[in-house]
């Protein structure tokens, strides 16, 4: 079951023994601590699917270094398109190799061959001599959840169509990337990611709606964690443990919820991944074998598509 920011907050409030509370201090604590717990889970599930659709950018003539997309954790693959041909860039992970490459004099028409990842940016060699399209495949770090669910008005949906039409709605461009669910009929209550915004009354889903055609339907749009759905409740448990360890002033309850966060059992204080099937440790074990297809060619060489270039030491 997918949970949204509002679901997580409701669960946290109930965990503190204040169901239905709108206390601003309580909510502020949740908002402040949700991000660190969510990012911790993302970091622990390093091999879970975190690769968004490819992103594109453009090179600048004679510019060596370029900034990463804002949500990047690490680059999986970079391609440069030159004359409609996509050339993959091999990664260089050594400063000395990078320095050696940049000591070579290359024809001005040379096609880019290597990428040099640094902390905040990456270099391309040979230096692009024109405007090329760069295509990124990368692993993302999701933003922290901060926005409550939206459900004003009603919607009309059509089976096998990706268009959602609202009545008395105020859809916004910021909703792109969030999740949409029809709540009138539980049989059709699958989640769909929003992929584009047209107007205050029209949005488009990433895939066609597979439920029954209908109008005047209740719905909700929400931010949801980009982790396996069985792990969503862990965020609330983790924040709850911080509450009881701090403002709640009940360390025993804090330990209980911290155990739930790590093992799924409030009475299990083991942190051994081998003997744990629940909580974050259990998820980490289940997804540990998921390949992220990251391949690094250790032996640096010129791309065979461009062999035959004349190179000299400058």
Domain ranges of the chain: 55-140
Q: What are the C-alpha distances in Å from 240 to residues 43, 75, 155, 263, 311? A: 20, 34, 35, 15, 61
Which residues lie across from 57 on neighbouring strands? Answer: 134
Ramachandran region of residue 93, left (φ > 0), alpha (ψ -120 to 50) or beta? alpha
Nearest to 221 by CA among 184, 259, 183: 183
Q: Please tell me whether residue 303 adopts helix, strand or coil conformation.
A: coil
Q: Which residues of the chain have pLDDT under 70?
A: 46-51, 186, 289-314
Q: What is the pLDDT of residue 290?
A: 59
Give the pair of three-digit tokens for residue 24. Answer: 């601003």
Count helices and strands in the chain by DSSP H and E runs: 6, 17
Q: What are the C-alpha distances in Å from 210 to residues 28, 99, 156, 163? A: 38, 54, 13, 12
């Amino acid at each position: 079951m997918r949970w949204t920011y509002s679901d997580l907050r409701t669960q946290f409030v109930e965990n503190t023994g204040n169901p239905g509370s709108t206390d601003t201090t309580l909510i502020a604590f949740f908002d402040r601590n949700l991000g660190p717990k969510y990012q911790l889970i993302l970091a622990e599930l390093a091999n879970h699917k975190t690769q968004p659709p490819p992103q594109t950018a453009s090179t600048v003539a004679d510019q060596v270094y370029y900034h990463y997309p804002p949500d990047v954790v690490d680059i999986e693959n970079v391609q440069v398109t030159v004359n409609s041909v996509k050339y993959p860039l091999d990664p260089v992970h050594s400063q000395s190799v990078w320095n050696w490459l940049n000591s070579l004099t290359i024809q001005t028409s040379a096609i880019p061959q290597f990428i040099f990842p640094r902390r905040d940016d990456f270099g391309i060699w040979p230096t692009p001599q024109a405007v090329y399209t760069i295509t990124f495949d990368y692993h993302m770090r999701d933003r922290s959840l901060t926005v409550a669910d939206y459900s004003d008005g009603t919607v009309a949906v059509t089976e096998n169509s990706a268009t959602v039409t609202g009545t008395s709605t105020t859809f916004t461009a910021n909703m792109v990337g969030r999740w949409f669910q029809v709540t009138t009929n539980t049989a059709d209550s699958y989640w769909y990611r929003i992929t584009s915004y047209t107007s205050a009354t029209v949005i488009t889903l990433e895939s066609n709606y597979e439920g029954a055609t209908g109008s005047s339907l209740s719905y909700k749009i929400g931010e949801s964690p980009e982790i396996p759905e069985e792990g969503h409740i862990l965020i609330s448990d983790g924040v709850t443990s911080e509450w009881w360890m701090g403002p709640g002033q009940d360390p025993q309850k804090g330990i209980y919820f911290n155990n739930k966060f790590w093992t799924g059992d409030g009475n299990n204080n083991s942190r051994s991944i081998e003997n744990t099937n629940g909580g974050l440790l259990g998820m980490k074990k289940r997804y540990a074998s998921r390949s992220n297809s990251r391949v690094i060619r250790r032996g640096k060489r010129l791309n065979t598509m461009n062999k035959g270039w004349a190179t000299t030491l400058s």
